[in-house]
Every structure is written in structure tokens, then in C-alpha cells.
Chain A
Amino acid sequence: MSNDMTRVLLTKRFSAQPQHLKTIRSEISNTLSAHGFNQDFQSDMVLAVDEACQNIIRHAYQFDDHGIIDLSLMLDHNELCIELIDFATTVDPDCCKPKECKDELTPGGLGTLIMNKVMDSVAYECPPPNGAGNKLVMRRKVEHSER
């Protein structure tokens, strides 16, 4: 996503380790707060990014301590775009779609369900950028009341 009207709100590299998720959440929250987004919107985006990062840590890097996540937040007119790039093995792009589950207590897939509930779209960019393993792009339209 890039054009003359796109504003980059945040672009940062993080270590893909569970103990760094708190820092990532703070960065998202602080960045969105600084740009006038309300608490509800902030908490939705924090949750979506946290769940996406969890998936990267668990499934892409399988808790490898050396994994890296490149995170970007961009605002294009009234749409927030969040991009997460990792450098692990490229995954099946369908794995970020929520699976229909009749039993609420069946484990697995909660994170993907939550991401798809708070974002308008969640999808892998195929193919990923050169040198990257996966690029997840999440988008959410911003209502007037959310800023």
C-alpha cells in the first residue's frame, strides 16, 4: 500500500519473542493515541496485532528466539493498514482465514477468529516481498467517531 496520500504512522522491527509482545502493544497504542484514535479503536488494533504476532511466533518461527517481525502502520484516507512481515518459511495463505467451528471449546483458531472480527480484511500478500517469508496485511476502515 503506497501512494501520495498514505501516511506512515509507524514502522519498526521487533524481536519475535513472547516477552516483546507487551512492547509491541504499547507501541501500537501510543502511536494510535498520538494520531487521535479513540480507546476502543486502539484496543481493537492492539488485539489484532498481538494475535498476528502470536501466530508468527508460534507457527512461523515456532518460538525460535532469533525471529524478526517488521511492523508497519499506515493511514490511507480513512483506512488503517497494518503490515507484518516475517522471514520464516512461507505459509499457506488460507491459514489466516477463520475456520468455522461448531464447538466453542475446540482449541485452536481463536487468534485468527479475533483478528477477522476486528479487522475488515486479513490476508497474506502473495507472493511475499523479495527476501521475506510472509507478509500479512490487515485493513480497517476508520469511522469519524473513532478519531
Chain B
Amino acid sequence: MGYTTTENGDHTTIYLTGEVDLERSPLARKVLLETVEKGQHLIVDMSDVEYIDSSGVASLVEALQASKKKNLDFALQQVSEPALKVFRLARLEKVFEIR
């Protein structure tokens, strides 16, 4: 898994790429939570996520919860089909704001 980041004022977009699994999800978690900790509204672009499992989903959930606690926006955009499938299986497709 890799990522790139763009900032626009108090909004940050993180572009996740590749496979977000047990090996790589700790990095995703760290990056997402650090961004929220800085007080940034967060958009996670998932157009190039080829695979995500429950550990990757858990990282997103954790970032969503952290954002809510700080009254920050959190949304996913361009969610790839493989990722959307896992969200549906985990019954989380309505929990995230998906653009």
C-alpha cells in the first residue's frame, strides 16, 4: 500500500493505493489518525485501492470515529469496486459518507 497527500487549507485528501491488509493497514491507520490529530477535515480517495480487508476497514472506522470526536468532516471518495464489496459485506456502506 502506498499513499499521497494533498492539502487545501483545512482539508486534506489522502490517496490510498494498492492493498490495505494486515501488513499495511497500520501505516494507513497512522497516516489517517495523524491527519485528524492535526485538525484537518479528511477525504480518503480509494480509487486505486486494489484490495482491502477487515484490518484496513478498521483503520478507516477508527479515523471516522476520531474525526467525529473532533467535529471534523470525514468522507471517502471514488471507492473502488473491491473496497465497496468489502464495505457491503461488513455492512458499513451506509456508515461512511461516500462521494
Contact = CB atoms under 8 A, between A and B. Distances in A.
Question: Does more than half of chain B's interface fall in helix, strand or loop, or is it mixed?
Answer: helix
Interface residues of B, number: 22
Interface in A48-81: 50-51, 54, 57-58
A77 B82 CA distance: 29
A113 interface: yes
Interface string B39-53: 000000000000101
A113 B22 contact: no
Interface string A97-129: 000000011010011011001100000000000
Contacts, number: 56
Contacts of B51: 25, 46
Chain A facing B: main interface SS:
helix
Interface string A37-53: 00000010011001100
Contacts of B21: 18, 21-22, 25, 50
Interface string B20-55: 011100000000000000000000000000010111
Interface stretch (B3-11, B56-64, B71-79): B56-64
Contact of A104 (B62, B82, B89, B95): B95
Interface of B: 19, 21-23, 51, 53-55, 57-58, 61-62, 64-65, 82, 85-86, 89-92, 95
25 contacts: A18-B22, A19-B23, A21-B22, A21-B23, A25-B21, A43-B82, A43-B85, A46-B51, A47-B53, A50-B21, A54-B22, A54-B53, A54-B55, A57-B22, A58-B22, A104-B92, A104-B95, A105-B95, A110-B54, A111-B54, A111-B55, A114-B53, A114-B86, A117-B89, A118-B89
